[in-house]
Amino acid sequence: MKATTTRNPSLYEVKQLTRDWGLVGEEDTVLTIFLAFLGGGFILMTGLSSGGKNGVVNSAAFCTPGGGNASDPDDVVNTSEWTFSVPTSLSKTALFQQHEIVNSHPVHVHQDIASLQGEQHLEKLWKRHGEGQSMTHSWTQVMGQEREERSQTLHPPNCMILFLAEDNQQVDINDYPEVRNRALLLPIDDSSELTAKVNERQAEMEAGLVRPKVNEKRAAEIREYVGSIPMHMYGGSSRGGFLNPIAPAIDNQNPLPQMFTEARRDFPRLMDFMKSVTLFHFQDRLELAKKDFAPPGSSNMLTMFVTPADGWYAMRIFGEKMVLSALNLREKDFELLSILRDDMGSAYTADELMMAMRDRDYNVTDSDIRSSMDNMLYKGYVRKSQDSARVEYSASPFAAKAKRNVQLDWSEVVEDTRETVYEVLPTEYANVYEDDYLQGDGLLVTHPFTGETVNLLEETANELEQRVEEAEAREEETVFDESDDSDEPDGSGGNTQGTLV
């Protein structure tokens, strides 16, 4: 790759730049959105109304070309050169008449839909673009006495983001399984803990205490670098221009649950996310011309190689979300399920579950609880009993299979990747890959949330696994305390937000 005169940005710097937009928390969510801009397919963002979905996308767009030009922080999506906010009020024909501006943006954002009544063309568009397919519409243009047949096509963007408010009674995404199953469900953090942090930030801004984390010169350099990412060469229909030699190594350790057929979509989605990480680091990645090497069946003139470091970033930012997606569960669903599993054999009403969730710092309503229960009932995680007085829910035996463990031995990933590289690449290029990415500095990564340096061969690389082990240890301690005739109440109302089971 051509050398640059400035230091290439890290994902940690991108995260810091989103803080300067004003985002609080949501570290993994905003980096997921930012990297999805490079080729993340269909993202379905859920959360309560006014809970911050727009904020997450605006802050990610703030890091793209043109993203710093908005006079209003809430209008970045409309000033970024990458993002286009699709007007949901447009008719089908009016939308296709704007095909030039729509197709010129690699990221399409569909704002909250109040209702899908009369908007079937949007549902069809989401399905087709969710499959990576274009959609064509034909109509008759009437001008005075003349009638002209017209036809235009909307092409799938690198990333399509759809907002859906969980408290919208008019649209239940579970009623549209063909849309839901094509998308990655990405919930925002609407906890009262984050609300307190947001209010603290607002107070600091009022008092003039907020200072930029990234100076203007560096912010401009980051946006210039992001604008230079060659998505046109590797994104969209050309994503065959990647070779991912760590894919078998990841699959060998089986990080994604495989209890539902949707997992068949999730593994390719995880691989695509690794390619997005690779694209972000394109200046530092091995790239071979077709005359030197080309994967079987590839028509691309260039091939870029995914590395273990790219895989680590993907799993650290994206891994837990992929596990929940494969389980067909949202964050709130999993927390509700943990309440029921903590008291296996007991049944709870929706009101009782709502109070238990609020004790765990979740902002939920009765309708949120019932929607989650209906989803988990359909998937077999919970049981429902009803008499003349009340409806109650309890965990099913299948609920025990819902685990969020993201456990990968990165030393083993490196070794398995080494074997694959020497199997698929000519020796001279396999040697280059090994020298650059399987030893020394090639195994050092910058933590995207803390900025710390992490070595893939050391225990610090297994942060997610350590969090799982710590959570399991806490659970075992809780079970021991309860079996010791303690007078303490059970854990169903404790503040255990984010517990991994």
The predicted-structure confidence for 148-180, as pLDDT tens digits, reads as follows 888 899 998 989 998 887 766 666 666 676 777
CATH 3.40.50 fits 11-206, yes or no: yes
Place of tokens 């083993």: 412
Rounded mean pLDDT of the chain?
Answer: 81
Domain boundaries, the chain: 11-206, 229-324+415-435, 331-403+466-493
Q: How far apart are CA 405 and CA 334, in angstroms?
A: 13
Confidence of residue 64 (pLDDT cuts 50, 70, 90): very high
Residue, of 469 and 13, whose pLDDT is higher? 13
- Can you read off the two tokens belonging to residue 404? 């969020």
CA 23 to chain centre: 16
The CA R_g of the chain, rounded to the nearest whole Å, is: 24
Q: How many CB atoms lie within 10 A of CB 111?
A: 17
The helix-helix angle for 410-424 and 427-437 (nearest 10°) equals: 160
- Can you read off the two tokens belonging to residue 34? 């930012």
Q: Is the pLDDT of residue 384 over 50?
A: yes
The predicted-structure confidence for 180-198, as pLDDT tens digits, reads as follows 778 888 888 877 888 888 8
- Can you read off the two tokens belonging to residue 235? 């994104």
Out of 1.10.10.10, 3.30.70.890, 1.20.1730.10, 2.40.110.10, which CATH number does the structure's domain 331-403+466-493 have? 1.10.10.10
| Alpha-carbon separation of residue 150 from 135, 136, 140, 482 (angstroms) | 14, 11, 6, 71
Q: What is the pTM of this model?
A: 0.83
From the number of C-beta atoms within 10 Å of its C-beta (0-12, 13-18, 19+), residue 164 rates as buried
The predicted-structure confidence for 91-146, as pLDDT tens digits, reads as follows 888 889 889 999 999 999 988 766 666 567 888 888 888 888 899 998 888 777 77
Region 45-68: what's the mean pLDDT?
Answer: 87
Q: Do domains 11-206 and 331-403+466-493 have the same CATH topology?
A: no
